[in-house]
Amino acid sequence: MELKSGKIELRRLQDKDASRMAEFANNEKIFRNVRDALPHPYSLEDAVTFINRCKEQDPVTTFGIAFCGEYVGNIGIEPGTDVYRKSAEIGYFIGEPYWNMGIVTTALALITEYCFHDLGLIRVFTGVFEYNTASMRVLEKCGFQKDCVFKKAVIKQNRIWDEVRFSKINPAFMDKDSL
């Protein structure tokens, strides 16, 4: 399945994405909204290591977001295991110069469709730090529902924050109670 809508495409990360990935990810405004697993400061070597780690993925779970053919950010899923094997957690960021152009809203819609249609997943979800209103808006625009608030679940930059949890259910499974 081609993951493309207008000028926006999800594709495998490529070696040539490393320099722009490092440039975009090395931004405190991105770091403050994501897990500490994202190095900060973020180096070219961090980007190269990350891209190399993604090369073996089958099926692909980490995508580069391309806008007009140019790499602008990442979107990926962490599939669940055991009883959560039909769920996946979604994460994303794009470079600050590309914010508020509707790019991640489209990228999220594409990866959600990939999860439901190609991977046969039932539920996709994510957790947003309480102050990240832009990400919450993206999720709402893509039809995710706000499930609940995990009070004081997150320690970020030495402060304690609530996490707001969002999910979307594959419509094909909405009324099913068995596979």
Ligand X SMILES: CC(C)(COP(=O)(O)OP(=O)(O)OC[C@H]1O[C@@H](n2cnc3c(N)ncnc32)[C@H](O)[C@@H]1OP(=O)(O)O)[C@@H](O)C(=O)NCCC(=O)NCCS
Least separation, in Å, of the C-beta of 56 and ligand X?
25
What is 74-139 written as a DSSP string?
EEEEEE--GGGTTEEEEEEEE-GGGTTSSHHHHHHHHHHHIIIIIS--SEEEEEEETT-HHHHHHH
Interacting residue with ligand X among 19, 49, 57, 133 (CB under 6 A): 133
Nearer to ligand X, 100 or 158 (CB): 100
What span, in angstroms and rounded, lies between the C-alpha atoms of 120 and 133? 30
Nearer to ligand X, 115 or 128 (CB): 128
Q: Pick the piece of the chain touching ligand X (CB under 6 A) from 14-22, 44-52, 103-111, 112-120.
A: 103-111
Residue 156, token pair as written in the block: 């970020």
- Note whether 47 binds ligand X by CB under 6 A: no
Interacting residue with ligand X among 11, 20, 48, 99 (CB under 6 A): 99
74, 62 Cβ separation under 8 angstroms: yes
Site for ligand X, rule CB under 6 A: 30, 33-34, 92-94, 99-105, 126, 128, 132-135, 137-138
